Amino acid sequence: MTEGSASSSTSPASTTTDQPAEGFGIDTTRRDTAGALRDYVSRLRGGQLGALPALLGLATLFVVFALLSDRFLTLGNLANLLSQGAGTAVIAMGLVFVLLMGDIDLSAGTASGVAASVMALHLVEGGNLLGAMGGTVFAVFCGGLVVAAVLALVMRVWAGAAMAILGLLLVLLGVPANPWLEMLLAICVGAAIGCITGFLVARVGIPAFVVTLALFLAWGGVVLQLIGQGGTLGLRNDVMFSVANGNLPIWGSWLLFVLAAGGYSALLLIRHFNRLRHDLVAQPTPLVLTRVGAVLALGASATWLLTINRSNSETIQIAGVPYVVPIVLVLLVLGTFVLDRTRYGRHLYAIGGNREAARRAGIDVAKLRMSVFVVCSTVAAVGAIIYSSKVGSVDPQAGGGNTLLFAVGAAVIGGTSLFGGKGRVRDAVIGGAVIATIDNGLGLLGQSAAMVSIVTGLVLLLAASVDAVSRRRAAAVGR
């Protein structure tokens, strides 16, 4: 079993004789902390590294840039770092679902650009997409939403069909411009794109690489058609601008800490003591308490630092946790729950581990393959909203360039395997943090974009090498 699937299969129904606990867990509740640590080291030697290499790399980058630049660890730069890497991390979260199946979605970047373009066009034109697009383009666009809904219904991907139909209604009804509806429309467009991509891969049987490469080019052309050569659509709206540039109030920042860190800690403790009470496999209590203490301490420290005024002006106050933090946390919690605690998630790991065996076990492989592309494009649309908010506009290059490459790199650097069957949503967040740190740190040192690409590429190559080596090691020791 893979690391991700092993952790998701440790349910309350598991016994203490056949399933290891995740992290420092062991296969019996009677061993002490030292035994759990030895077991963890043994699994590291067996190739089950998880996100450890990425975390060590991130820590190293922080130390290096802190020593080379006196501005790196300033409050303003750290807050900017959070919003700077959020877009990449969010798109990478969706890509994790596709990578788990052993597939790839090269069109996720430009698909997010299409979603951003429709969102911006609807906002700028006051909800009149017919007038903005012209009759022919508008008819083709609506027809695409209808086709996406039909394809999703054929494959019984109900969520994708519902989102495509909702997007069609928003367009046809000509609802007035509203920032919340614009963002909803972008997400619906992303879901519709995923339905088309997933159907071509899962039902028609075209290799994912070919389909998504073709759509990468096609969606880039759609963005250019919607915005126009050399054009730019400004997002002159306070709500949309605040998505990536605004901050929670001080009280809201501490409330987020209570809900996130406090909720996670409470859930961890409840699950742990419930397992002990029922004599099920569990981590040693001291290690659980250490993890809870670390989460609370780090969360409280980060919240306190972000609630300090980081403005350079005496007349302007900038304080509070950036809005992108709760957005990323919600997606992280939701994605982790789906992969770790649902049958759908277990089936994804099974298909990624052995597609033919999963098919023979009765899993609807085609349906699930289509669904992950829907998830990927939908989440990519959320990333597009963050990207667009960060720069305050949408241009013909939206979603192009290095957007996809950095997103795939974030997932792989964080620990998700390109071979399928291994990965977690948190990998995207960790990898996104690594890429954002490289970009931010080299920028502070005055390095060019070329150097940023070179360093990021080398880090990605190193991560892929670690994955390949760990897989060989795991196969050699029979894990």
Q: Between 399 and 249, where is the model more confident?
A: 249
d(CA 395, CA 400): 10
The answer to whether the CB of 325 falls within 8 A of the CB of 387 is no
pLDDT of amino acid 478: 57
Tokens of 179: 């920032």
What does the alpha-carbon distance between residue 90 and residue 407 come to, in Å, rounded to a whole number? 8
**In 3-state terms, what secondary structure has residue 189?**
helix
Region label for 86, one of left (φ > 0), alpha (ψ between -120 and 50) or beta (otherwise) = alpha
On the question of pLDDT at 56 being above 90, the answer is no
Residue 373 identity (one-letter amino acid): F
Report yes or no on 162 lying in a domain: yes
Beta pairing, strands 393-394 & 233-234: antiparallel
Question: Largest Cα–Cα distance in the chain?
Answer: 71
Look at residue 48 and tell me if it is in a domain.
no
Q: d(Cα 9, Cα 20) in Å, to the nearest integer?
A: 10
Predicted confidence at residue 26, as pLDDT, reads 46
Q: What stretch of H or E contains 320?
A: none
* pLDDT at residue number 465: 79
- CATH code of residue 116: 1.10.3470
Whether 376 maps to a domain, the answer reads yes
| Mean pLDDT score, 120-141 | 89
Q: Tokens for 233, please give them.
A: 């659509």
pLDDT reported for residue 211: 95
The pLDDT of residue 47 is above 90: no
Task: Residue 367: name the closest of 120, 154, 169 by CA.
Answer: 154
For residues 93 and 332, the answer to whether their CB atoms sit within 8 Å is: yes
C-alpha–C-alpha distance, residues 364 and 359, integer Å: 7
pLDDT of residue 272: 86
- Cα–Cα distance, 114 to 217 (Å, whole number): 12
* H-assigned helices in 278-321: 285-306
Q: Round to whole Å and give the CA distance between 91 and 77.
A: 22
The reply to whether 11 falls in a domain is no
Mean pLDDT check: name the lowest of 3-17, 153-167, 220-234, 327-341. Answer: 3-17
The amino acid sitting at 244 is A
What are 410-468's pLDDT values in tens digits?
A: 898 888 888 888 889 999 999 999 999 998 899 888 888 888 888 888 887 887 777 77
Residue 479 lies in a domain: no
| Portion of the chain with pLDDT greater than 90, in percent | 49
Residue 91's domain spans which residues?
56-246+322-474
**Which residues in 378-474 belong to E strands, given as ranges?**
393-394
Residue 11 pLDDT more than 50?
no
What is the number of residues in the chain?
479
pLDDT higher than 90, residue 165:
yes
What's the pLDDT tens digit per position in 263-277? 999 999 998 888 888
Contacts of 404 (CB under 8 A, 6+ apart): 91, 106, 107, 108, 109, 110, 216
Min mean pLDDT across 3-7, 386-390, 410-414 is at 3-7
Residue % of the chain over a pLDDT of 70: 90
pLDDT digits (tens, 9 = 90+) for 311-324: 877 778 889 999 99
Residue 201 DSSP symbol: I
In degrees, rounded to 5, the angle at the alpha carbon of residue 364 between the alpha carbons of residues 359 and 370 is 120
Residue 383 has pLDDT above 60, yes or no: yes
C-alpha distance across the termini of the chain, in Å: 8
Q: Rounded to 5 degrees, what are φ and ψ at 393?
A: -165, 170
Residue 210 pLDDT class (50, 70, 90 cuts) = very high
Report the 10 Å Cβ neighbour count for 444: 16
Residue type, 21: A
Please tell me the least confidently modeled range out of 32-46, 156-170, 217-231, 376-390: 32-46
Contact yes or no for 416/423 (Cβ under 8 A): yes
Q: Of 196-205, 283-292, 348-357, give the lowest mean pLDDT range.
A: 283-292
Residue 198's CB is within 10 A of a number of other CB atoms, namely: 33
The dihedral sign for the CA sequence 20, 21, 22, 25: negative
Is residue 109 a part of any domain in this protein?
A: yes
For residue 42, pLDDT over 90 is answered with no
Rg (CA), the chain: 23
Q: Report which of 248, 236, 238 is spatially closest to residue 323, judged by C-alpha positions.
A: 248
Q: Is residue 88 part of a domain?
A: yes
Q: How many helices (H) and strands (E) does the chain have?
A: 21, 2
pLDDT value at position 255? 96
Predicted confidence at residue 46, as pLDDT, reads 67
Q: Give the type of residue at 419.
A: F
DSSP string, 237-269: -HHHHHHHH-B--HHHHHHHHIIIIIHHHHHHH
pLDDT at 114: 94
418 or 248, higher pLDDT = 248
DSSP class per residue in 428-449: HHHHHHHHHHHHHHHHHTT--H
DSSP, collapsed to helix, strand or coil, labels residue 173 as helix
Report the alpha-carbon distance of residue 283 to residue 22 in Å, rounded. 8
Number of domains in the chain: 1
Question: What is the chain's mean pLDDT, rounded?
Answer: 86
Q: Is residue 221 part of a domain?
A: yes
The b-or-e profile of 65-86 (16+ CB within 10 A means b, else e) is: beeebeebeebebbbbbbbbbb
